[in-house]
Amino acid sequence: MEIYGGTINLLEKGLDYSSAKGKAISQNIANVDTPNYKTKNVNFKEVFSNEKSKSLEAYKTDSRHLDFIHSTTSKTWDLSNLRYRQDRNGVDMDKEQADLAANQIYNSALIERLNGKFNSLQSVIKGGR
Amino acid sequence: MSIFHSLNSSSSALTAQRLRMDVISSNMANVDSTRAKQVDGEWQPYRRKTVTLQPKDGQFSSFLQVAKGVHSHGNAGNGVVVSRVKEDRETPFKLVFDPTHPDANEEGYVEMPNIDPLREMIDLMSATRSYEANVTALNANKSMLMKALEIGR
């Protein structure tokens, strides 16, 4: 019986995604004046299933062995066909700012939930006292 | 990849945008400089300088990371870098009729720098706005890191 349940693992994956997203957004905003720069995006859900089958599988002789790559839940890639400016730069500043705000809220929601989880565990450990 | 990766990206952009502003200031300051450098005993006016930016990736380590299959945010890039400061040799010098000027030629025309103050002002505004956007991104990522320190409090 797992006392933590699956919630903490899921929240951890979410935080991984949120940090990757934060990096991609910083990179996009940093390169807003770079000619020919293509927007980078991070995807969480869609890549997960087909990325797992593509990557190198570890030969496991025990169920507790880890995969070679166990954090390929999110992947960054270029949106190469997107451009709407004269210098072929694909960064949409409004979208990046909105994504930045959304990512921040998403991140604090995850941390809030994680703390809630830890607090209830603590309350169980202390026996409700 | 360090947890401060996103902060480093933003700060590289802040440095690059500040350098752009410095170059623009230099252009504006030299809008009337007729003696920038001497070529064959003749004084040449100041040439407008431009900054070329490029993404700071495509380094060996990032390709290695991709080849190894470790693309957990590995190919997000490392920010932006100034690849070079170039002199504008496309735009011609402005000719101003002023026979009293010590650098005037036989017909009384003076070659002035190829700087258009309007264009510099627009570049300056663009650099300022980009700088502000990067400050916003930096603050957002900083507050996310500060929030992460509160886990388990």
Instruction: Name the residue in chain B with its Cα closest to that of A42.
Output: B73
Gap from A72 CA to chain B (nearest CA, Å): 6
* Per-residue pLDDT at A69: 54
Taking CA atoms, A40 is separated from A20, A89, B16, B107, B132, in Å, by 11, 11, 20, 56, 20
Instruction: Name the residue in chain A with its Cα closest to that of B71.
Output: A75
Instruction: Name the residue in chain B with its Cα closest to that of A70.
Output: B72
* Per-residue pLDDT at B92: 92
Helix (H) or strand (E) holding B84: strand B80-87
* Per-residue pLDDT at B1: 55
Gap from B37 CA to chain A (nearest CA, Å): 30
Gap from B72 CA to chain A (nearest CA, Å): 6
Average per-residue pLDDT in chain A? 79
| Collapsed DSSP state (helix, strand, coil) of residue B39 | strand
* Per-residue pLDDT at B62: 66
Chain A with chain B: Cβ pairs closer than 8 A: 131
Cβ–Cβ gap A100/B136 under 8 Å = yes
Q: List the beta strands (DSSP E) in A24-102.
A: 40-43, 75-78
Q: Consecutive 10-residue runs of chain B (153 residues): their mean pLDDT?
A: 82 94 95 89 91 81 68 66 91 92 90 94 95 95 91 82
ipTM exceeding the 0.85 mark:
no
Q: What is the band of A6 on the pLDDT scale with cuts at 50, 70, 90? A: confident
Cβ–Cβ gap A32/B130 under 8 Å = yes
**Can you tell me the distance from the alpha carbon of B58 to that of B84, in angstroms, rounded to the nearest whole number?**
17
Gyration radius (Cα) of chain B, Å: 23
**Can you tell me the distance from the alpha carbon of B50 to that of B119, in angstroms, rounded to the nearest whole number?**
12
Q: What is the band of A65 on the pLDDT scale with cuts at 50, 70, 90? A: confident
**Can you tell me the distance from the alpha carbon of B98 to that of B79, in angstroms, rounded to the nearest whole number?**
48
| Collapsed DSSP state (helix, strand, coil) of residue A87 | coil
Check pLDDT > 50 for residue A77: yes
pLDDT tens, residue by residue, A109-127: 999 999 999 998 899 899 9
Helix (H) or strand (E) holding B109: strand B109-112
Lookup: tokens for A81: 């066909």
pLDDT tens, residue by residue, A20-62: 899 999 999 999 988 888 888 887 654 444 445 555 567 778 8
